[in-house]
């Protein structure tokens, strides 16, 4: 299975980078091909341009080679794995921007010509996996609705097939965790992704 692993953290020595490495190792141990898209590493621009917005409903809504590369990968992948820190109760701006610029008409969804209704276009995606770090406690995250998780496991999933499964790994109060607790969480991510089918 081809897996697109989308990483969104600006510091190369971050715990999120370590989690991405462990997730990729687990997936590869399970026999999967993994393509890591390091959004900060590749200099991905979060903001949609005026040109992109004007092109959004046209025949060619993608105007940027980096966006085109991600869209091509998403069109071939069978699983999407997102690794990111939850900031301000949601996705980092770069990841939100990636979703807005990549998941355009013709990639994530299509408009039915007869009814005008939106139809999913990501029927190739069998799994959506989220791996996130949280600075807050689990109860605090619940109060604020865990918006990043909802975006990925609900809003994005609507554009996939009915059989698309979602998996979530969250480590809460991350800065108060011991090194052992962080290692154990990373080990769990790696171990469980080895078994992704």
Say if residues 132 and 86 touch (Cβ distance below 8 Å).
Answer: yes
Q: Dump pLDDT digits (tens) for 11-63.
A: 999 999 999 999 999 999 999 999 999 999 999 999 999 999 999 988 899 99
In angstroms, what CA-CA distances link 19 with 74, 93, 148, 163? 21, 20, 17, 26
Which residue shows structure tokens 């108060």? 176
pLDDT band at 182 (very low <50, low <70, confident <90, very high): very high
| Alpha-carbon span 86 to 7, nearest angstrom | 12
Residues spanned by the domain of 96: 2-194
Check if the beta carbon of residue 64 is closer than 8 Å to that of residue 52: yes
Query: Residue 87, SS3?
Result: strand
pTM of the model: 0.96
Give the count of domains, the chain: 1
CATH number, domain of 30, equals: 3.40.50.360
Task: Give pLDDT tens digits for 73-108.
Answer: 999 999 999 999 999 999 999 999 999 999 999 999
């Amino acid at each position: 299975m081809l897996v697109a692993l989308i990483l969104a953290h600006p510091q190369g020595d971050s715990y999120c980078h370590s989690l991405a490495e462990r997730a990729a190792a687990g997936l590869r141990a399970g026999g999967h091909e993994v393509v890591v898209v390091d959004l900060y590493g590749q200099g991905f621009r979060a903001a949609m341009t005026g040109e992109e917005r004007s092109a959004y409903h046209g025949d060619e809504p993608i105007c940027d080679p980096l966006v085109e590369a991600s869209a091509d990968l998403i069109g071939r992948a069978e699983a999407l794995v997102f690794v990111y820190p939850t900031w301000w109760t949601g996705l980092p701006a770069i990841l939100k921007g990636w979703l807005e610029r990549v998941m355009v008409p013709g990639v994530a969804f299509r408009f039915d010509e007869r009814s005008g209704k939106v139809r999913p276009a990501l029927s190739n995606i069998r799994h959506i996996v989220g791996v996130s770090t949280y600075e807050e406690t689990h109860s605090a995250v619940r109060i604020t609705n865990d918006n990043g998780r909802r975006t990925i496991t609900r809003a994005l999933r609507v554009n996939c097939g009915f059989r698309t499964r979602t998996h979530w790994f969250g480590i809460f109060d991350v800065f108060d965790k011991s090194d052992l607790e962080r290692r154990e969480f990373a080990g769990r991510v790696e171990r469980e992704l080895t078994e992704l089918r």
